[in-house]
Amino acid sequence: MELRQLHYFIKVARKQHVTQASEELHVAQSAVSRQIHQLEEELGVTLFVQKGRNLQLTPVGKLFLKRVEGIMNDLERAVGEVHEFLDPAMGEIRIGFPHTLGINLLPTVVAEFRKNHPNVKFRLRQGTFNSLVKDVINREIDLSFVSPFPEIHDYVAGELLMEEELLAILPAQHPLAGEEMIRLEQLREDPFVMFSEAYSLRSIVLAACKKAGFIPKIGFEGEETDTIRGLVAAGMGVGLLPEMALLEISPLQPAMVKVSEPRVTRTVGLVRRKDEKLPPVAEGFRQFLLDYFRSR
């Protein structure tokens, strides 16, 4: 069994198509097919079945893919650690983030870190709270920003970096748009534009509304900050978003108003695998982040 076979197998499994996999690998389609066939012969199992124009993993193929991806991740990490040992300034940092931090915070801290470490590479992965924590546990990334910060967790540990206030966002023509501060209860009759159920901000908003004494009417759902902000600005409802997600000015700009009762906040933290030492370059970036947030 060769590493090339495993690499081809993973690519075909992800693309579900030999032609597309071969194009991405820059090798002939026949070479990919041959390597997959040889791998199946060596294992004595069928890894793929044809389904229309695509290939679908068999149950044993799915099991094999999970193990092989873990092996390849470990191998990639081992190679990276060797390179870091030879020259820590040339390493790679694999870090995850929720999309609300990708607008301003992540680019800012990466740019600041690279001023003194210009040769360090970053591999970034965006996701929801659950997907990011899972990626850390599965060693697909070394570190991740998460919100909310899990103070107690079986498999990850980390540090609370900051607490951020959520602001009410309203259409410009809303009766409360000119106020400096409102009570959340004043929005009980308005439809809310919310994140979908996979996003932690949704549960924060729902909990705040419950604390204010009402269950919000959900008019629209979205998965991106710009979508939420745009729908509100277009008059489709009201919402709550973190201050950091509202720093960028867009053509459709809602009114932003502070909420006094209840005060709505979210925590942002940095997590890593529990009881496991980070690669030197990732540890250096972690320490940089802790210092960065302490100074602010």
Tell me, yes or no, whether 194 and 259 share the same domain: yes
Q: Do β-strands 143-146 and 121-126 pair in parallel, antiparallel, or remain unpaired?
A: unpaired
How far apart, in whole angstroms, are the C-alpha atoms of residue 240 and residue 256? Answer: 9
Tell me, yes or no, whether 120 and 177 share the same domain: no
Token pair, residue 271, equals: 């997590």
How far apart, in whole angstroms, are the C-alpha atoms of residue 133 and residue 145? Answer: 9
| Boundary of a domain, candidates 77, 98, 126 | 77
Total tally of structural domains belonging to the chain:
3
Tell me, yes or no, whether 244 and 168 share the same domain: yes
Tell me, yes or no, whether 124 and 205 share the same domain: no
Listed in sequence order, the residues at least 6 apart from 273 whose beta carbon sits closer than 8 Å to its beta carbon are 136, 137, 139, 155, 156, 157
pTM exceeding the 0.75 threshold for the entire prediction: no
Tell me, yes or no, whether 218 and 261 share the same domain: yes
Tell me, yes or no, whether 20 and 95 share the same domain: no
CATH at residue 136: 3.40.190.10
CATH at residue 43: 1.10.10.10
The SS3 call for residue 54 is strand
* End-to-end C-alpha distance for the chain, whole angstroms: 52
| Boundary of a domain, candidates 50, 77, 104 | 77
Tell me, yes or no, whether 117 and 249 share the same domain: no
How far apart, in whole angstroms, are the C-alpha atoms of residue 103 and residue 281? Answer: 24
Tell me, yes or no, whether 258 and 127 share the same domain: no
Q: Which residue range(s) make up the domain with 71?
A: 3-77
CATH at residue 211: 3.40.190.290
pLDDT tens by residue, the chain, 296 residues: 788 888 888 988 888 888 888 888 888 989 888 988 898 889 898 998 888 888 889 999 899 988 888 888 888 777 776 766 555 566 789 999 998 898 889 999 999 999 999 989 899 999 999 999 999 998 899 999 999 999 888 999 999 999 999 999 999 999 999 999 999 999 999 999 999 998 999 999 999 999 999 999 999 998 888 899 999 999 999 999 999 888 877 777 899 999 999 999 999 999 999 988 898 889 999 999 999 999 97
Contacts of 290-293 spanning 24+ positions with Cβ under 8 A = 290/159, 290/161, 292/109, 292/112, 293/161, 293/162
Tell me, yes or no, whether 148 and 168 share the same domain: no
Nearest to 208 by CA among 168, 179, 178: 168
Tell me, yes or no, whether 168 and 257 share the same domain: yes
Decide: 69 and 62 in contact? Cβ < 8 Å.
Answer: no
Which amino acid is it at 252? Answer: L
Q: Using alpha carbons only, what angle is made at residue 92 by residues 88 and 95, rounded to the nearest 5 degrees?
A: 130
The SS3 call for residue 266 is strand
Token pair, residue 251, equals: 């053509």
pLDDT at 73: 82
| Boundary of a domain, candidates 47, 77, 107 | 77
Nearest to 257 by CA among 236, 237, 238: 238
Question: Residue 292: in which H helix or E strand, if any?
Answer: helix 280-294
How far apart, in whole angstroms, are the C-alpha atoms of residue 14 and residue 16? Answer: 6
DSSP string for residues in 228-241: HHHHHHTTS-BEEE
Tell me, yes or no, whether 172 and 182 share the same domain: yes
Tell me, yes or no, whether 180 and 243 share the same domain: yes
